Structure 1
């Protein structure tokens, strides 16, 4: 049975908002200003969802971006929300030419990729030399529970939070130079408070999004023991002379 895409779930969408991630556009804004993107730059939104970031870039910075997502439902909505090129594709097989983008955004989406190394290879390929890779995502402090999280049949960044040390090692091995790493755990806490306020408990929220038979208590227990946080990482594609 294929994993349920929780980002298509109305309950999840109403909780997370148009960005479908914690923190809304605050981390996006921080990354744009750090990288000093200009309106001549073309960016790629990896896992663009409804196209919220693409629209934000255009409306607030006059910066153009293309997007991709594996969800037909979300891609169709993104195409309605923007006039940008949005394609149905995975980050593990990006359908764009080498050196096409000045920046690639993966906002709570890199953790969705089944093959992290392949996805990072693809990002490196489509980035122009010294282009920026912007990652905002969940990280895990207690890695003992990674296997159990991944056993759940759901398509969400909660399933595969990052081991930050491992992610940094992979990025460096692929030719990226890590420029910035910041923690934004407060956005996870804000989201939890919002869910509890709206649904009385995390257990009720998980049951509502997954169905009545889902063991929301067990899943929430694993999440609590995992000690999840949220981070921003910005890496730059370096090209070395051979």
Structure 2
């Protein structure tokens, strides 16, 4: 699976400016792909970046390109390989919408963040969701949450139906509400849909279509792109 990066490093650098991390800060890049962004952050800012991804070939590709990259097989839903309070920043660029259990991933990130640590997310969202649709999604999420998990379904890697994600895009208000329930303080939320539009146009020019994009969601009407920075409070 290829990593999309609307805005190239512009969004990443804006987020790092908001995060205000010090040189040597410990950063976890969830969904790092071949480590291109991890390498950029190490070279430009002097961060100590650990990248995890489910794509072994991408991990190997990154390590072959730069043996100094700390890239590992890993899943954002399960960060038990890392101790609590390990990282100054956890980042998920174009990743959270693809994770089966986004609520678990947000909770896991909170656990491994140091107090005062930052979470940076960039991803797809519904810019103007119909309130009736949002309510229907909430009802369906509550209904599915009551369905008992069956043993034969274990390990299937099914997408969890949550009230803040629909067809590969997030719904802002329910998402922010859930994050605050976990314990995050929202620092910044910025619409970066112009970067997505540019990315789509460049992809069409380069590939001839959107068939090679990670997800078809960004080609749908009403889909935007956002940058979010949240903090794990000191107290």
Which bin holds the TM-score, normalised by the shorter protein? Answer: 0.7 to 0.9
Indicate which of 187, 210, 226 corresponds to 1:179: 187
Rounded to whole Å, the distance in 2 between the matches of 1:199 and 1:65 is 31
Rounded to whole Å, the distance in 1 between the matches of 2:38 and 2:20 is 16
Measure how far apart 1:196 and its partner are: 2.7
The gaps in structure 2 that reach 5 residues or longer are 138-158, 160-164
Question: 1:76-95, aligned counterparts within 5 Å?
Answer: 76-82=60-66, 83-94=68-79, 95=81
Aligned to 2:145: none
Aligned to 1:224: 220
Rounded to whole Å, the distance in 2 between the matches of 1:188 and 1:165 is 21
Rounded to whole Å, the distance in 2 between the matches of 1:209 and 1:27 is 19
Map Cα deviations across residues 58-90 of structure 1 (whole Å, 9 max, x no partner).
111111110100111111122223413221111
Indicate which of 47, 66, 71 corresponds to 1:63: 47
Judged with a 3 Å threshold, the aligned counterparts in structure 2 of structure 1 residues 27 and 209 are, in CA distance, closer, same or farther, namely: closer
Determine if contact 1:111/1:162 at 8 Å carries over to the other structure: yes
Rounded to whole Å, the distance in 2 between the matches of 1:27 and 1:209 is 19
Judged with a 3 Å threshold, the aligned counterparts in structure 2 of structure 1 residues 63 and 158 are, in CA distance, closer, same or farther, namely: farther
Determine if contact 1:49/1:69 at 8 Å carries over to the other structure: yes
Question: 1:122-161, aligned counterparts within 5 Å?
Answer: 122-141=108-127, 142=129, 160-161=168-169
Rounded to whole Å, the distance in 1 between the matches of 2:64 and 2:42 is 15
TM-score of the aligned structures, taking structure 1 as reference length? 0.75
CA RMSD, aligned part only?
Answer: 2.8
TM-score of the aligned structures, taking structure 2 as reference length? 0.77
Map Cα deviations across residues 113-168 of structure 1 (whole Å, 9 max, x no partner).
111111111001100011000011111234759x9xxxxxxx9x995111111210
Q: Which structure shows the higher helix fraction?
A: 1
Judged with a 3 Å threshold, the aligned counterparts in structure 2 of structure 1 residues 199 and 81 are, in CA distance, closer, same or farther, namely: closer
Rounded to whole Å, the distance in 1 between the matches of 2:90 and 2:52 is 11
Judged with a 3 Å threshold, the aligned counterparts in structure 2 of structure 1 residues 193 and 116 are, in CA distance, closer, same or farther, namely: same
Judged with a 3 Å threshold, the aligned counterparts in structure 2 of structure 1 residues 60 and 158 are, in CA distance, closer, same or farther, namely: farther
Report how many aligned residue pairs link the two structures.
Answer: 203
Question: 1:163-242, aligned counterparts within 5 Å?
Answer: 163-200=171-208, 202=209, 205-206=210-211, 223-225=219-221, 227-240=222-235
